Structure 1
Amino acid sequence: MASFFTLTILSLILFFSISSAARRHTSDSSTGNSFSVKIREACKASRDPPTCESVLTDSGNLPSELTAPLIIQSAVNLSSENNAKAKVMVQSIIDASVGNSNRTDAGKVCMEVLGYAEYRVGLTGQALTRGKIKDARAWMSAVMVYQYDCWSALKYVNGTSQVSKTMAFLNSLIGYSSNALGMLVNYDVYGENTVSWTAPKTERDGFWEGSGSGEAGRVTGGVPSGLKPDVTVCKNGGCEYKTVQEAVNAAPENQETRKFVILIKSGLYEEKVRVPLEKKNVVFLGDGMGKTVITGSLNVGLIGVTTYETATVGVVGDGFMASGITFQNTAGPDAHQAVAFRSDSDLSVVENCEFIGNQDTLYAHALRQYYKSCRIQGNVDFIFGNSASFFQECDILVAPRQLLPEKGETNAVTAHGKIDPAQSTGFVFQNCLINGTDEYMTLYYKKPKVHKNFLGRPWKEYSRTVFLDCTLEALISPNGWLPWSGDFALKTLYYGEYRNTGPGANTAGRVPWSSQIPAEHVNSYSLQNFIQGDQWISMSS
């Protein structure tokens, strides 16, 4: 993240002359002054108001009559236009990288995620015109995820001026998206009165949304019962398809309402499965955890494989559902990052499923996700990403990384990656059990002093994770939470607990940079408020 803010300085230098020109342009008349004031007020929602003002003024996107929605739309358009320019620059890197597999692979990842950003920023503009402000915020939050992912991918192959120039441009692009997102948040909270708009804040600044005392929310719903399969997959034949991927390929594209149900019969399916963006409302129905198993072993130790690509199952199409399936990565604890399941599916529901791995088991990458009555197993950062994900009544289990209990190990259950205070992302765990597998608990109780387990650590600067009414067993360290590196993110993250029970729930020894959620604010993390679950989860039953 230090590199990220260093590049922000480059952005300011880049747009200094634009800012000067903008000031000259807007100081010639009372109309110009009024124009300037409206832009200045709207840009109070930015983390970098001077740059926000200058780039918006010079963009050519602003209408003659300025209203809050039109200014926001202009900021969204600016992100969209420059996202397209970034794709051109990344393609040039790919074209110039023949023979350099690492740079080529990074470029391909960039092109993929910038494509997702392009799609989501388009949806953001549509949602804004229809008054669907929560959707617009969720989608613009994802735009930032994808643009940052591209920047991060290039960071590891930055050996040419061309890559450096593209990274600087991407950093500016992320800033444009941040401006638009900050405005969306302020518009949602304060309305059109831009005088009240302010820089993005988090709980650490005393900013809460959708508060109210009482329970943290319960929405009845999940994967609908009685679904009839459109196609069936059987490991040994006798059905329409032998592989899950073949069945996914048969799903219609851009199906907005009707679900395409794939029944996956018992068996071990050794394959890499991808549900692409255009395959919406796909449903995986299995015969139960441990019976229907989709497995793989991709990991970052393999040449040219990124964490994103290691997923055994990767889902992007919106409205994905799954029930009765085990998603597995068998790469082992020494293979480092090895994802069993990755989701970029907005409004996705996963129920009664199992996720087995070690480091980075479940990559809840982006957008709004709901996990109910699932079993998630791993050790290092095994639930991670920058989504807004809600885990309800799940078993979260630490698995051993070694069979020698005298060699201590340190594990973190979560590593949330929120990069901007305005992003509506975070992890919420409600009524979950945090424990170890049977094997781990046997080792833990033999050598409890050398085995340390924590609820989470901050992958990125605004990491946000809360545990509500959960059972925290004895393996959780009294500190509760683990730093990432030094004091990185400790002043900006939000790690909260509320009414947890169990021997690991004693808060007396918690680190001072974690929080106990005030009762009057706990409903900020309800299904309704956090991921708008009352609008789509209950409707899925």
Structure 2
Amino acid sequence: MQLLSPLPQSPQSPLMASLLPMIPLLSLLFHTVASTSVIEQACKATRFPDSCVSSLAHFPSLPANATPTDLILAAMSVSAQNQKTALSMVRDVLEASAGNPNRTNAAESCIEHMGYSERRLARVADVVPLGRIKDARTWVGAALLYQDGCFGGLKYVNGTKLVDDTMSFLVSLTHLTSNALSMLPAYERFGNDTSAWAPPQTERDGYWGDDAAAGWSDQGSSFSGGFPSDLPPPKAKVCKDGGDGCYRTVQEAVNAAPDNGTERFVIYIKEGVYKETVRIPFEKTNVVFLGDGMGKTIITGSLNVGMVGISTFNTATVGVDGDRFMAKGLTIENTAGPDAHQAVAFRSDSDLSVLEEVEFLGHQDTLYVHGLRQFYKSCRIAGTVDFIFGNAAAVFQDCVILVQPRQVNPEKGETNTVTAHGRTDPGQATGFVFHNCTVNGTAEYIALYRQNPKVHQTYLGRPWKEYSRTVFIGCNLGEVIRPEGWTIWSGDFALKTLFYGEFESTGPGGNATGRVAWSNQVPAAHVGIYSVRNFIQGDQWMPVSA
């Protein structure tokens, strides 16, 4: 560092002469202290402030007069760099797992999840300077979801020091990612005044959002957007018997879609039963499935966790990773049965996705609404245990949700839960919102329920993870829903941090007087936070239906 002006030519005292060489060092020290002060203010917004300060204080390119945007991007960069190290460690686990199929599968799944995390984080730097904080929060929240998923897979195969060390590093990585995530709602709420930044709050803390306080009458309970009415002609056709330019399988048609497509690639799937496992990779964007109707076009599979090396994530009959996926007029099912435990029909990690008039059939874990922003309209969803689950920000509008019979030792009692939301961090803008939906049992289940209501108990949801969030708005709840409404996961886990709410529930299961004390009736003044416009920014990206 050089002085900005020449030294004075007047005589110097011995003390001054001795201090002059130290001026550059003192100047650097002054800037470092100033930078640390700004860092400490920003890190007050995080759940792990010590690791936040430590990581940013040594960040090489962070200027002394760092802006909030500089701090956020630096926190993102720290997470991204540590993720590379974590990925390298997981690859070492995979290399050392030859001959151990369970650990091999866990490591491979972990590498897949970390790849998704890396891709989501890579997009954040482009949108934060543009003020697109909701997009950034969605993607960083998804990165944290995938890192947690990697950890969760390894914990079941931990038995070596290498795996244990990798898991420990993954914990520190999730803290760093959580820190970056927490800064986003703080910036959105308080702007450049880092002295006011605070950790993310939820409805359970009494915070309903500064931009979504309007009542439901002001927002409207019905959203006119959804599946587009002006689709281009199909670019691929799938026919059960092939011929006439048709693909024989849905997967072949998906493979024909261009990578990173910017226009909708419509795949018409003709009436028939397609027994296959379908995967839409991350690169296959804007893919559209168009069937001949629910119960006519059927994609079916039976993968389940009882099979060797199969995780819940991989049991899906149809799994989507490419953004802006759309589907209409078909059935997706998993036929593994009620005693097969986790067996997913449809799993989605597609940001800005729309599914309309789609039927999802299964038992445990039917619909895996895994991550990002999703919209379901006029769908039919059937299952038994936790059959709508995941950690997405998802809105279900005008859907029919049905509990099916489990018939597994019913005399010992059975408990069915409609939802199990998996938010792990209050900074994640995720949750399940049901607008104008009907929740009841199938005709067969209702008949069994009426024979013995004490045995067949159904609840709206239970907390899979600590910050679980699920809300029912103007829904008709059938007789099979217990008066308590909601049930526990294990003991008092998450009961002080979850948010389970209802607004104007109707039907025999909608009476609020018997609800558990840790659920809420949403105040009318704040119910607008759960509109499609506010909750998933649907008015900004979703086509308006004719």
246, 249, 254: which one pairs with 2:255? 249
Shift of 1:403: 7.5
Query: How far apart, CA to CA, are the structure 2 residues paired with 1:193 and 1:150?
Result: 35
Larger radius of gyration: 2
- Residue deviations 1:34-86, cap 9 Å, x none? 11110011001100212211111123252343000010000011111111111
- Residue deviations 1:467-513, cap 9 Å, x none? 00000011000010010000000000000000110110111111111
- 1:3-402 to structure 2, matched below 5 A, reads 29-209=29-209, 210-215=212-217, 217=220, 218-227=222-231, 228-238=233-243, 239-256=245-262, 258-402=263-407
TM-score by length of 2: 0.92
Matched to 1:425, the amino acid is T
The answer (yes or no) to whether the contact 1:372–1:394 under 8 Å persists in 2 is yes
What does residue 521 of structure 1 align with? 526
Matched to 1:452, the amino acid is Q
Query: How far apart, CA to CA, are the structure 1 residues paired with 2:543 and 2:250?
Result: 28
The answer (yes or no) to whether the contact 1:219–1:538 under 8 Å persists in 2 is no
1:488 aligns with 2:493: yes
Query: How far apart, CA to CA, are the structure 2 residues paired with 1:248 and 1:474?
Result: 42
498, 501, 506: which one pairs with 2:506? 501
The answer (yes or no) to whether the contact 1:428–1:466 under 8 Å persists in 2 is yes
The answer (yes or no) to whether the contact 2:343–2:366 under 8 Å persists in 1 is yes
- Residue deviations 1:87-130, cap 9 Å, x none? 11101100011001000100010110100000000111211122
Partner-residue secondary structure (3-state), 1:508: helix
533, 538, 546: which one pairs with 1:533? 538
Partner-residue secondary structure (3-state), 1:83: helix
Query: How far apart, CA to CA, are the structure 2 residues paired with 1:337 and 1:537?
Result: 31
What does residue 433 of structure 2 align with? 428
Query: How far apart, CA to CA, are the structure 2 residues paired with 1:147 and 1:61?
Result: 26
What does residue 446 of structure 1 align with? 451
Query: How far apart, CA to CA, are the structure 2 residues paired with 1:31 and 1:330?
Result: 64
Partner-residue secondary structure (3-state), 1:45: coil
Q: 5+ unaligned residues in a row in structure 2: which ranges? A: 1-24
- Residue deviations 1:373-419, cap 9 Å, x none? 00000010000000000000000100000187645311110000000
Partner-residue secondary structure (3-state), 1:56: helix
Query: How far apart, CA to CA, are the structure 1 residues paired with 2:147 and 2:45?
Result: 20
Query: How far apart, CA to CA, are the structure 2 residues paired with 1:237 and 1:181?
Result: 48
The answer (yes or no) to whether the contact 2:228–2:543 under 8 Å persists in 1 is no
Partner-residue secondary structure (3-state), 1:325: strand
Query: How far apart, CA to CA, are the structure 2 residues paired with 1:31 and 1:85?
Result: 30
What does residue 462 of structure 1 align with? 467
Query: How far apart, CA to CA, are the structure 2 residues paired with 1:403 and 1:208?
Result: 42
4+ runs deviating over 6 angstroms: 25-28
Shift of 1:28: 8.0
The answer (yes or no) to whether the contact 2:32–2:64 under 8 Å persists in 1 is no
**Two-structure CA RMSD over aligned residues (Å):** 1.5
Shift of 1:223: 1.2
